[in-house]
Structure 1
Amino acid sequence: MGYAVVFGEALVDLLDAECDGAPVYRQAIGGGPLNVAVGIARLGGAVQFVGSLGDDVLADRIRAFLAAEQVGLAGTITAAVPTTLAVATFAGPEPDFRFYGEPPSHSLLAPDDLDVALVEGADVLYCGSIVLLAPSTLAAARRAWSLSGRLRVFDPNVRPRLLDGPAALAELREVVAEFAAGAHLVKLSTVDAELLYPGEPVEGVAAYLRELGAGTVVVTLGAAGAVVAAADADPVRVPAPKVDAVDATGAGDSVMAALVADLLVAGEPVEPAGWHERVAFALRVAGLVCERAGGAVAMPTRAEVVERFDR
């Protein structure tokens, strides 16, 4: 089995919580791509995280956490800036993020910083999330995309708080089309789909991304499961297991992690039914994540998924 490269951001989440009746923030290591990398490792895949980290104590904690999770850091650089903070508040299980730190510690990896051999040697390359919004990291992501000759997966992971008006959204929509056109797998949420393509049904969004060139498209629907568009088959809805959700942070990332981990083991399914089975497993992974607090630390092992759902 080969390895995956996950290109994107790592930061620190401050999650809205309560202690002795008073509001507090619980610190958690996060960032969508970091969650994906940890999820892949916990599901048994070899993975390298590629991005930029700050030079403070929080960045040291991120490095130590990733090392402990068996996530490689060979392609990660250090920038002389503080670690970006993502402050999350909740109205139900879904978090609302606001980001603090200028310049963002996660947006400072340039194209020339890429470890070319590391990217070229990966069996799966993941790109996406908020690094698409910074010129330097977008250019680096484009270079990584061009270097990869194997499986490419993409997740726009849209953060509307970081989009400065309709022009920024239109620009992101063009970037999403660019990466989707060269992707073997695109995963996005129903929230992403509504922001990028307002008024379009999720099945229509999945079909559109496939028309652009994406091999398979998965749109997650929260508790309702996911829509899967694979090969030339009509989009299919795959149900999610019923769970007692306490925190949805990282749930979508865990779907991507599960799909990448299976790509590392067995490559792309030949038939759409194979994708449906893999997405069903990924939704069980996400269900277990939702029953736990926190993003990266909530990622389960395969044994834990089997224990929870397959008894």
Structure 2
Amino acid sequence: MGYAVVLGEALIDLLEAEHDGELIYRQAIGGAPLNVAVAVARLGGRVEYSGTLGTDVLGDRIAAFLAEAGVGERGVRRVGVPTTLAVTTFEGAEPSFTFYGEPPSYALLSEADLDRDGLAGASVLYTGSICLLREPFRAAARAAWDGFAGLRVFDPNVRPKLLPDEAALTALRELVEEFFATADLVKLSLADAQLLYGEPDPAAAAERIRSLGARAVVVTCGARGAHVAAADGAATLPAPSVRAIDATGAGDSVMGALVSRLLAGGRPAGLADWQGHVRFALAVAGLVCERQGGATAMPTPAEVTARWGAEIQGQGRP
């Protein structure tokens, strides 16, 4: 089994909650790429996180959390700006994010900062999310992606509040399509597809992205499950029934679970393999939704087995 490099943002989530009848904000370590890295590590995969952390106490907490989670930090760079905050509010279990901090501490990785040796030895590279909206990170991600010889996985992770107008949305669409064109896997939510393309049908969205060059596409649809499209066909898979209390990080756990399976088995042979991977990923996400969300909700294999039974661990394995 090789290892993955996760390239992207880490920040602090302030999660809206109620305590003794009062609205409070619970601090949690987050950022979609960090969540993915933690999910891979918790599921038993080797993973290196590559990104920038502030030199303040919050940056120190993120660094300590990564180390405790078993995530490698050889690609981490520390920067002298305050750690970005993401204030998270909820409608039901679904989160909405507003970001604070300028310049954003998570987007300061430059091309010169890239751990070239680490990238050269990796089997899987993940990037995506809000860090791509800013330089110098965008140039660093392009350089890492273009020169990578292993499996490339991408998640646009669109945040509408960071797109002030139609021009910004158009620019984002053009940007993510650069990565779609050469991705081995694109994972996105149906909400992402609707914002990017006005497309409410996950099957149509997946085929549109595959037509751009992506080898496989997984569109997550919340409680409805996920649609997966590969070169030899497509399928829609149901989500397991869960007692959801917080969906924060659920999509990231899907990506983390998929990356863990790519590390274990390499490039899937076709749709049947992808279906097994997605069934496993949906089980992982279901468990995450039953916990207070974010990076700390990412489960271990033992926890997945305890919740869903040993057979789920065999889904998608070669």
The TM-score normalised by the length of structure 1 is 0.98
Counterpart in the other structure of 1:284:
283
Residues 116 and 147, structure 1, Cα contact 8 Å, conserved in 2: no
Q: Structure 2: how far apart are the matches of 1:175 and 1:9? A: 17
Contact kept? 2:258, 2:278, Cα under 8 Å: yes
Q: Name the residue aligned to 2:315.
A: none
CA separation in 2, counterparts of 1:27 and 1:294?
11
Mapped contact 2:51–2:106 kept (Cα < 8 A): yes
1:125 partner amino acid? L
Residues 190, 200 of structure 2: 8 Å contact kept: no
Alignment-derived partner of residue 95 in structure 1 = 95
**Shift in Å, 1:294:** 2.2
State, as a whole percentage, how many aligned pairs show the same letter. Answer: 62
Matches within 5 A, 1:143-222: 143-199=143-199, 201-222=201-222
Question: How far did 1:302 drift?
Answer: 1.2
Q: Deviations over 1:186-233 (max 9, x none)?
A: 000000000000045221110011111101000000000000001131
2:78 is aligned to: 78
Aligned twin of 2:264: 265
In the alignment, which residue of structure 1 is the partner of 2:314? none
Alignment check: 8 A CA contact 2:284 2:299 kept: yes
> Aligned-residue CA RMSD in angstroms?
0.9
Structure 2 counterpart SS, 1:29: strand
* 1:256 partner SS: helix
Deviation at residue 171 of structure 1 after TM alignment: 0.6
Provide the rounded CA distance (Å) in 2 between the counterparts of 1:92 and 1:120: 43
Q: Find the counterpart in structure 1 of residue 28 from structure 2.
A: 28
What corresponds to 1:247 in structure 2? Answer: 246
SS at match of 2:89: strand
Aligned partners of 1:180 and 1:213 also within 8 Å: yes
Distance 1:223 1:91 in 2: 15
TM-score between both structures, scaled by the size of structure 2: 0.96
- Contact 1:245–1:290 (Cα < 8 Å) also in 2: yes
Structure 2 distance, partners of 1:271, 1:210, is 14
Alpha-carbon distance in 2 for matches of 1:219, 1:76 = 30
- Report the Cα offset of residue 17 of structure 1: 0.8
Q: CA deviation at 1:147?
A: 2.0
Letter in 1 for 2:243: D
The answer for the alignment partner of 2:140 in structure 1 is 140
Q: How many residues align?
A: 310
For residues 135 and 41 of structure 1, what CA distance do their matches in structure 2 show? 28
Letter in 1 for 2:235: V
Preserved contact between residue 185 and residue 216 of structure 1 (Cα < 8 Å):
yes
CA–CA distance in structure 1, aligned partners of residues 70 and 286 of structure 2: 23
Aligned to 2:307: 308
Which residue of the partner structure matches residue 223 of structure 1?
223
Q: In the aligned structure 1, how far is the partner of 2:200 from the partner of 2:86?
A: 30
Unaligned runs of 5+ in 1: none
Residue 164 of structure 1 deviates from its aligned partner by 1.9
Q: Any conservation in 2 of the 1:219–1:227 contact (CA below 8 Å)? A: yes
Structure 1 CA distance, aligned partners of 2:39 and 2:27?
19
Pairwise CA distance, 1:269: 1.6
The residue type paired with residue 16 of structure 1 is E
Is residue 255–residue 281 contact of structure 2 (8 Å, CA) maintained in 1?
A: yes
1:295 pairs with 2:284: no
| Residue type of the alignment partner of 1:196 | L
Q: Equivalent residue of 1:255, what SS?
A: helix
Q: CA deviation at 1:236?
A: 1.0
Once the two structures are superposed, what CA deviation does each residue of 1:140-192 show, in whole Å capped at 9, x if it has no partner? 10001012101000000001111121001001101111001110000000000
Q: Secondary structure at the match of 1:73?
A: strand
> What is the identity, as a one-letter code, of the residue corresponding to 1:22?
E
- Report deviation, 1:116: 0.8
Distance 1:226 1:299 in 2: 19
